[in-house]
């Protein structure tokens, strides 16, 4: 589903009005919260402009509890933001809940679990105690860590 930032931005563009409605915000309030002008928000909602990467990140961060965004991204939208932001990098992540709702186990070994999100299709590598090690839209990016000496 999401393979790059452009697809992510497009999905956010299509959902921003729904999120605004979900929270009961006027266009003026939503624009102020996102740090854009009301005129720009109106153009985005009409499909004439785009939120862009930075404003999409703000949308997903500020409205992290949105059911609209959770349904669109298969859980926390910020997980998708992280996968896109840190592609090819390995930042330190905090412990997850283990993927009870939106995640399917793809591979397991003595140390790691690779899961795939059922909506966004991105992958994450977790330790056995459910701490995220890495995430990516490409399974092959996670396999070297999964198969490393620690995972053997």
Say if residues 69 and 19 touch (Cβ distance below 8 Å): yes
CA dist 64 and 152 (Å) reads 36
* CATH code (residue 32): 1.10.260.40
On whether both 53 and 118 belong to a single domain, the answer is no
108 confidence band (pLDDT: 50, 70, 90): very high
Has residue 22 been placed in a domain? yes
pTM beyond 0.85:
no
Which pLDDT tens digit goes with each residue over 66-83?
999 999 988 889 888 988
Say if residues 64 and 90 touch (Cβ distance below 8 Å): no
Q: What per-residue confidence (pLDDT) applies to 152? A: 43
On whether both 78 and 112 belong to a single domain, the answer is no
Which pLDDT tens digit goes with each residue over 134-144?
888 889 989 99
Q: Is the per-residue pLDDT at 94 higher than 80? A: no
CA dist 14 and 130 (Å) reads 32
Q: What per-residue confidence (pLDDT) applies to 43? A: 98
Nearest to 120 by CA among 136, 132, 131: 136
Q: Note down the domain range covering 61.
A: 5-82
Has residue 98 been placed in a domain? no
Has residue 87 been placed in a domain? no
């Amino acid at each position: 589903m999401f393979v790059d930032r452009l697809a992510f931005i497009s999905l956010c563009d299509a959902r921003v009005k729904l999120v605004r409605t979900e929270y009961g915000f006027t266009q003026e309030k939503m624009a102020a919260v996102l740090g854009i002008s009301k005129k720009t928000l109106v153009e985005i909602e009409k499909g004439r402009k785009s939120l862009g990467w930075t404003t999409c990140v703000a949308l997903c961060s500020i409205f992290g509890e949105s059911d609209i965004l959770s349904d669109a991204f298969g859980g926390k939208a910020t997980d998708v933001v992280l996968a896109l932001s840190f592609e090819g990098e390995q930042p330190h992540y905090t412990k997850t809940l283990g993927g009870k709702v939106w995640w399917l186990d793809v591979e397991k070994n003595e140390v790691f679990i690779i899961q795939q999100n059922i909506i966004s299709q991105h992958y994450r590598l977790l330790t056995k105690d459910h701490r995220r090690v890495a995430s990516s839209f490409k399974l092959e990016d996670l396999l070297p860590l999964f198969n490393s000496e620690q995972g053997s």
